[in-house]
Every structure is written in C-alpha cells, then in structure tokens.
Amino acid sequence: MSIAADNIDRWTVVDTLREGGGTRARVLKVKLGDRDAVLKDHAGCDPLFSMLLGPILARRESKALKCLSSVDGVRY
C-alpha cells in the first residue's frame, strides 16, 4: 500500500513536528492504518517559494532518501 495524496482524507495527524511558514514546510507525523509516515507540506509556505523551490527540494530529498533506503528504519 502506498501512502499517497489520494489517501489524504484517511491520514490521522499524530504530531506536528514543525510549523510551516515563509520558506519552511509544515512537517507532520501521520498515520495511515498501521503505517507511520512523515508528511512535509509546502502549501503554507510563501506561494512563490512553494511553486519554484518546493518541487526542487522535494526531488533532492527524494534522491537522498533513495540513497539511504538500505539503512534499517529508512523507507523509500
């Protein structure tokens, strides 16, 4: 099962790890069924930042997580 945007209505927010605003994404710990995940939400950031830099930073973070996928506890 994939944790994707189409499941957003079934996520349960467990904790707010960081409030967003300006150039900072809101970071939430969420639960979908029995799976835990961390959700970074750029929607509350400055609109220009969200549209221009948000996707670039998300790709960069995705590549880093992929490199770490062999480490215990890191899921990609």
What does each C-alpha distance from 45 to 10, 24, 27, 61, 66 come to in angstroms? 23, 6, 12, 17, 25
Find the mean pLDDT for residues 24-47.
86
* The token pair that represents 68 in the structure block: 């770490």
- Tell me whether residue 53 is in a domain: yes
DSSP designation for 21 = B
Find the mean pLDDT for residues 4-27.
81
- Tell me whether residue 73 is in a domain: no
- Residue 31 has what pLDDT? 92
Find the mean pLDDT for residues 25-29.
91
- Residue 38 has what pLDDT? 87
What percent of the chain stands above pLDDT 90? 22
Residue 34, domain extent: 5-67
Sequence-ordered list of residues with C-beta below 8 angstroms from that of 32, at least 6 positions apart, any chain: 1, 3, 7, 10, 11, 12
Q: Count up the domains in the chain and report the number.
A: 1
- Tell me whether residue 74 is in a domain: no
- Tell me whether residue 62 is in a domain: yes
- Residue 1 has what pLDDT? 42
